[in-house]
A and B are shown apart, each in its own frame.
Chain A
Amino acid sequence: MYSEPRLLVAGDSALVVEFGDEISEEVNRKVHALSYALEKNPLPGLGEAVPAYRSLLVHYDPLCLSWDEVKASVTDILQKCEEITLPEPRVIEVPVVYGGEFGPDIEFVAEHNGLSVEEVVRIHSAATYLVYMLGFSPGFAYLGGMPEAIATPRLETPRTLVPAGSVGVAGEQTGIYPIATPGGWRLIGRTPLKLFDPQRDPPTLLRPGDTVRFVPVSEGEYWTRLEREKRGGP
């Protein structure tokens, strides 16, 4: 972590507040704290903020605020961040059917790590994960906290279509595909939850700063929850 955050110019209508050059919960917490402080102290001319691992991109309207003014405002709010208490993170439980047709690569992940399939499920679902940020595609959460014991390299040739809700492992990361896309992660299961729905506001299940837990469920439970999701209910 830097001793002082760096304020970087991102063109004439955005700036980057960078807290460090590493992926760590401590640095990421600073990002969410500033994001939260900006939300709680809305300033005329300041636009949306986009949290990432170690930085916050803050948009502003150059018709209202000059670079010097926006720098001063953000510096001021950074001071306030020191005193701010972030609300307790939401804990989101994500039901997952592991293995079978829902997680066709789980045997590979087990074998690669010298574990049984049951152990992979137990390790993956016992950990708690932090949503560092969303990006790449609508609703895609960058999760931190996967145990190294189940780390597995990506597929050599990505699949042309990965179903929405697929839970995968890539290196030391785990993640959920919000929409059906091509992808190279090792698939270990699938959730019936809708990760992204443009008809909802906010449109995503997971939000920056959330805590995520995966809960193993049966195939029957998967179909029940999927039906419920389709009807729009929780």
Chain B
Amino acid sequence: MALEVLEGGMLTTVQDLGRYGYQRYGVPVAGAMDSFALRAANALAGNSLGEAALEITIAGPTLRATESCLIAVTGADLSLRVNNWPLPPWMSIFVRRGWLIEFGERKIGCRAYLAVAGGIDVPPILGSKSTYLRGGFGGFEGRALRQGDIISTGPVSFHLPSLAGKAFPPDCIPKYSDTPEVHVVLGPQDDYFTEEGIATLLSSEYRVSPTSDRMGYRLQGPEIAHKGRADIISDGIALGSMQVPADRQPIVMVADRQTTGGYPKIATVISADIPLLAQCVPGASTVTFKAITVQEAQARYREMMRALSVDL
């Protein structure tokens, strides 16, 4: 079974949970920007939660199923249509051979995840099927999908229609917004900033710059003042790290972030809120930030992940 790509869409890539264990060699993690939506899509499609899926950005692709299959689309609502029927996201769908999978207008969010029962059959590179675009490796030939590509899927061991029509529990779906409040934990270098600088970050609205991408979310808003230097001796960068270079505008480092960097990091976006940020649209969304303790952040993450252990 395969998906034929009739149109690639704005940026459609193969992503799993990312490439771990190689950051010490300078290899970025990559992986799904919204890993919760990826896991949910796989759960609905009957896959293991870390299987690779298609990450679809704003303007979706047009795909044709070469055989009957089961798909699930989660994350952003990009007006999914299957065989011309409009369907809501966060459910599993039985697709007959030859049917078209299409997307339309963006309703909310930025990235949708399309999982297929059996998973996406691309060779793992360094233990992961994720596409690292800047490095040109992983996923489907190290690049975004385009017209004419044939995406093979893996074998399925269950009866497809038996899993169709299942919906993700509505109260477990993240509340995506174009103006989300995103929680952060201060540090590791919050001591590089003035009290006023930290207060500015936590009380202002920041616009998501149009230059934001899978590497960094560049934010535009009131300037965040450093106490002194705006550089540190380079160190490792965790997912969600918020760097503030000398121009005093924060950048949140996301999936394709480089592994090390030399700007002080005022705060780190909590794991449970990475999906909210990942679903912000460059050039359109605005974000506000609220600081919580690391203990609260971990409690929120456990709470979010519990949603994935429910029986669908």
Question: Which residues from chain A sit less than 8 Å from chain B, CB to CB?
Answer: 8-14, 16, 18, 21-23, 35, 47-57, 59, 62-63, 66-67, 133-140, 142, 178-179, 196, 198-199, 201-204, 207-208
B170 proximity list for chain A (CB < 8 A): none
Is B26's beta carbon under 8 Å from chain A? Answer: yes
Q: A47-B20, A135-B234 are in contact. Are A140 and B26 (CB under 8 A)?
A: yes
Given A10-B268, A12-B185, A12-B271; A49-B301 close (CB under 8 Å): no
* B241 & A10 in contact (Cβ 8 Å cutoff): yes
Q: Closest residue of chain B to A132, judged by CB?
A: B234
- Given A52-B234, A66-B298, A133-B234, A8 and B26 contact (CB-CB distance below 8 Å): no
Q: Which of B233-263 contact A (CB under 8 A)?
A: 233-241, 258-261
22 contacts between A and B (CB under 8 A): A9-B185, A9-B188, A11-B240, A11-B270, A11-B297, A12-B301, A13-B238, A50-B24, A50-B236, A51-B24, A52-B235, A62-B298, A67-B295, A133-B234, A134-B259, A135-B236, A135-B261, A137-B135, A138-B26, A139-B25, A198-B125, A203-B27
Contact among A10, A142, A204 for B265, CB-based, below 8 A: A10
Q: CA of A57 to CA of B135 in the docked complex: distance in angstroms? A: 23
User: Is residue B194 within 8 Å, beta carbon to beta carbon, of the partner chain?
Assistant: no
Mark out the residues of chain B between 181 and 197 whose CB falls within 8 Å of any chain A CB in the assembled complex: 185-189
Expressed in whole angstroms, the Cα–Cα distance for A133 and B282 within the complex equals 33
Give A208 to B234 CA distance when docked, in angstroms.
14
Given A11-B270, A54-B235, A62-B301, 15 more contacts at CB 8 Å?
A11-B239, A12-B271, A12-B272, A13-B301, A16-B236, A52-B233, A52-B260, A54-B233, A56-B236, A138-B25, A139-B27, A140-B26, A201-B126, A203-B27, A207-B25
* B210 at interface by CB-CB < 8 Å: no
- Residue of B whose beta carbon sits closest to that of A56: B236
Residues of A within 8 A of B268 (CB): 9-12, 14
- Cβ-defined contact, A48 with B20, below 8 A: yes
B297 CB → nearest A CB, Å: 4
- Do the beta carbons of A198 and B137 come within 8 Å of each other? yes
B284 contacts the other chain (CB 8 A) = no
Q: How far is the CA of A23 from the CA of B235 in the complex (A)?
A: 11
Q: B238–A204 contact, CB under 8 A?
A: no
How many angstroms from the CA of A198 to the CA of B30 in the assembled complex?
14
User: Nearest chain A CB to B137's CB is how many angstroms away?
Assistant: 4
Please judge, given known A-B contacts A55-B235, A63-B301, whether A138 and B260 are in contact too, CB under 8 Å. no
Q: Give the one of B28, B126, B238 with max A CB within 10 A.
A: B238
Is the beta-carbon distance between B236 and A55 smaller than 8 angstroms? yes
Nearest 7 A-B pairs (CB), nearest first? Answer: A57-B236, A135-B260, A11-B268, A50-B236, A12-B297, A8-B188, A14-B238
Which residue of chain B has the shortest Cβ distance to A136 in the bound complex?
B258
